[in-house]
Amino acid sequence: SILQVQTEDSVLLFVVAWTITEIIRYSFYTFSLLNHLPYLIKWARYTLFIVLYPMGVSGELLTIYAALPFVRQSGLYSISLPNKYNFSFDYYTFLILVMISYIPIFPQLYFHMLHQRRKVL
C-alpha cells in the first residue's frame, strides 16, 4: 500500500536532503536581500549540494521505484479507455519515464551547479 512507501528509508533520504537544501537556499536569499551575506552561508549554498543533490535524487528515485508495484496493482491516477474524453493515461508508465528522464537531466543540472560553484567561490 501507499503507507508502506511512505515508511521507506528513501523518503527520509530525500526529505532530509531537500530540507537542508531549502534552509540553506532561503538563508542565502534572505541574507542577500539584507546585503549581509555571511561567507559560511555562501559556502554552504555552493558546496553542500555536492552531497545533498545526489542524496535527494537517490531518495526520490528509490521512493518512486518502491511505489511502482502499488501504482501498477491499484491503477493509481491512471485513466482507462473508453471514457467520454477519449483519453487514457498510465501513471505507472509515466513514473518510469520520469525515472528515465533523470539520466540526461541530473548530470546537466549537477555540472551546472559545479560550474556556478567555481564561478562564485
Cα distance between residue 51 and residue 118, in whole Å: 16
What positions carry a catalytic annotation? Answer: 53, 60
Cell numbers linked to 41: 552561508
In a domain, 83, yes or no: no
In a domain, 14, yes or no: yes
In a domain, 25, yes or no: yes
Cross-strand partners of 79: 89
* Ordered alpha helix ranges (H), 1-121: 2-6, 9-33, 39-47, 49-74, 91-120
Among residues 107, 26, 15, the alpha carbon closest in space to that of 52 is found at: 15
Q: To the nearest whole number, what is the mean pLDDT of the chain?
A: 96
> Where in the sequence is the domain holding 30, given as residue range(s)?
5-77+88-120
pTM of the model: 0.90
In a domain, 28, yes or no: yes
Cα distance between residue 98 and residue 41, in whole Å: 32
Cα distance between residue 15 and residue 32, in whole Å: 25
Q: Which residues of the chain have pLDDT under 50?
A: none
The pLDDT of residue 4: 83
The pLDDT of residue 1: 66
In a domain, 82, yes or no: no
What's the number of domains the chain is made of?
1
C-alpha distances out from residue 72 to 30, 57, 64, 66, 120, Å: 43, 22, 12, 11, 45
In a domain, 115, yes or no: yes
